[in-house]
Amino acid sequence: MTAQAKTMISPAVLSANARQQIDHWVQKYPPDQKQSAVIAALTIVQDENGGWLTTELMDGVAAYLGMPKIAVYEVATFYTMFELEKVGRHKICVCTNISCMLCGSDEIMQHLKQKLGIDVGQTTEDGKFTLKSVECLAACGGAPMMQIGRDYHEHLTPQKVDDILAGLE
């Protein structure tokens, strides 16, 4: 990392804890390939920020990894796991790819919209839930499925969805 890049990062942008976790991932790659840790770095920073990324945080990741800001933005906007706007405490990602669709993800999505009173891409007024439609989550054998936080929920029915939601704080 250049001296200029180091001075651009302030502890207010990337916490000491985030930098320590990012350094753990950076060590897994050759010294000249530390930008390979960008997905891990964005995940760490997003988790610390309540589930979403600000431009300032993405710029901090870019500076810390010594890569162009636009390269970080490209990663953050390509992958559905990254959020550029504030999300609810529980982000519900419903797989709508072919296996899930054929097994009833449309019914699950409609049920969630009605139960939560929101549409895809929206957050409940109390800030508890955000609903997203996502492409394949690599759990086709458990279709239809959804991801809430880091947990996968498979073989969904409307009743199973209600039970899952009732168990969330």
Q: DSSP labels for 124-150?
A: -TTS-EEEEEES--S-GGG-S-EEETT
Distance from CA of residue 133 to its chain's centroid? 13
In this prediction, residues 82-93 reach a mean pLDDT of 94
CA distance 142 to 157: 12
Q: Which residue has the higher pLDDT, 71 or 150?
A: 71
In this prediction, residues 104-121 reach a mean pLDDT of 96
Q: What is the pLDDT of residue 136?
A: 87
Q: Amino acid letter at 72?
A: V
Give strand pairing partners of 22.
none
Give strand pairing partners of 132.
93
Q: What is the pLDDT of residue 5?
A: 46
Tokens standing for residue 8: 């651009």
Q: Amino acid letter at 117?
A: G
Peptide bond into 144 cis (omega under 30): yes
Task: Classify 90 as helix, strand or coil.
Answer: strand
Tokens standing for residue 74: 């490209």
pLDDT averaged over the chain?
91
| Residues constituting the chain | 169
Q: What is the pLDDT of residue 81?
A: 87
Give strand pairing partners of 152.
147
**pLDDT per position as a tens digit, 34-73:** 999 999 999 999 999 999 999 999 999 999 999 999 999 9
List strands edge to edge, sheet with 146-148.
129-134, 90-95, 146-148, 151-153
CA distance 72 to 131: 25
CA distance 44 to 82: 11
CA distance 101 to 134: 11
Q: Which residue has the higher pLDDT, 51 or 5?
A: 51
Q: What is the pLDDT of residue 11?
A: 38
